[in-house]
Structure 1
């Protein structure tokens, strides 16, 4: 059974995320992502902001740069409608 699973994973390896294709490569399917920006906010967003440690800030900056490089995030100018 494990061998069968490994065969399937290798056969369809392009369907999974990788460094070069972070969101997978399945075409023809849409995913609805609903982001709640109206009150009442989700519980996780109700927490007050707090400063990150220098170590956490460095890791966060590195992760953000990776996401920009992969094309998941992009910098937005102040005059762009968001």
Structure 2
């Protein structure tokens, strides 16, 4: 079951069908973004606002080619920064 998207949601777009000459395919990012959904087109497509880097791409993608974007905040992983600080200070000794 595909996730339900709404206008103004942030999404990542799959690069599976992108023709990108920048290096080998296996080293490319699987998804790019985040992009904002401008309009829902039926149940199967979304139109997104692309950045200048992707301005030559068509802005309509199938729902199966986009993933919801969740911004990672420090409050979700509070111990991550503390652990790094302890490890960093241990190396300085």
TM-score if structure 1 supplies the norm length?
0.24
Higher helix share: 1
Higher strand share: 2
TM-score if structure 2 supplies the norm length?
0.22
**Higher relative contact order structure (alpha carbons within 8 Å, sequence separation ≥ 6):** 2
